[in-house]
Amino acid sequence: MSRHQKLGHISIQDVSKKYGSDYALKEVSLEIPAGSVTVILGPSGSGKTTLLRTLNHLERPDKGVIKIDDAFIGYRLKNNALYELKDKDVLLQRIHVGYVFQNFNLFPHLTVLQNIIEAPLAHKKMSKSEAIKKAKVLLESVGLLEKIDAWPQQLSGGQQQRVAIARALALDPKVILFDEPTSALDPELVGEVLSVIQKLAQLGKTMVVVTHEIGFAKEVADHVVFMDKGEIIESGTAEQVLNHPTHVRTQSFLSKVI
């Protein structure tokens, strides 16, 4: 145990989700230790986004449960039964789970600063001056303090994604989810975003990163999970899964992306 008790242990227990008759997730179970970095790999359509979305109840599993620390995601336990949370309580739970999207999803009508302080003010988590102070610290940490008053469309894709990461951190989540954070970027902008994510990994937050950046995964991931057709095919340390994959589907996938 480190000096601080780490928060953000994710427990995914037998989660299934179907669209029509097709499984997007099939009996997925995974323990993600607090403070660890997990990279999820897999071909398009393998269920990676669906899995991330279940972690903050953007999707409701048909079966199975997800816990982050003591909280059931999307549910509360009462008299030994689970009851789905009301929308406002789902939103409160999401404070603990930051989400970084493939396409950045900054609010186009808000400046960089306004994008970052929007959630803290909406949740009445801090005063406006505290929120601004915190936003400046976050922008400094992603190297964009000088863009504080810029509009999203004035920024490169890499800069927009770094602002989106700062925004995701504004409520001090225990967990941050990244869904292919660099796949919408021009190749020369990928590095600046990966290095921000790599720096975050040292803060001890739990991070789940869907990415095809194998070099990044080798350097940063504690665990790597390979999915195909809604199932976890193989998981282990980065060294095991990336350098010594045992499953033929993992081997075939890696031979294509590396």
**Dihedral, 162, 164, 166, 172 alpha carbons, nearest 10:** -140
Q: Smallest distance from the beta carbon of 27 to Mg ion, in angstroms?
A: 20
42 touching ligand ADP, by CB under 6 A:
yes
42, interface contact from ligand ADP, Mg ion, none, CB < 5-8 Å by kind: ligand ADP
For residues 135-145, b (16+ Cβ closer than 10 Å) or e, as one string? beebbebbebe
Q: Does 182 bind Mg ion (CB under 5 A)?
A: no
Q: Is 56 in the site for ligand ADP (CB under 6 A)?
A: no
Looking only at residues 13 through 32 of this chain, which bind ligand ADP when binding is defined by CB under 6 A? 19, 22, 24
In the chain, which ranges are continuous DSSP H helix? 48-55, 87-94, 112-122, 128-141, 157-169, 187-201, 214-220, 238, 248-257
For residue 45, state whether it binds ligand ADP (rule: CB under 6 A): yes
Instruction: Supply the minimum distance, in Å, between the C-beta of residue 44 and ligand ADP.
Output: 4
Nearer to Mg ion among residue 103 and residue 195 (C-beta): 103
Q: Hey, is 36 helix, strand or coil?
A: coil
User: Which helix (H) or strand (E) is 25 found in, with range?
Assistant: strand 22-32
Positions that interact with ligand ADP (CB under 6 A)? 19, 22, 24, 42, 44-50
Positions that interact with Mg ion (CB under 5 A)? 48-49
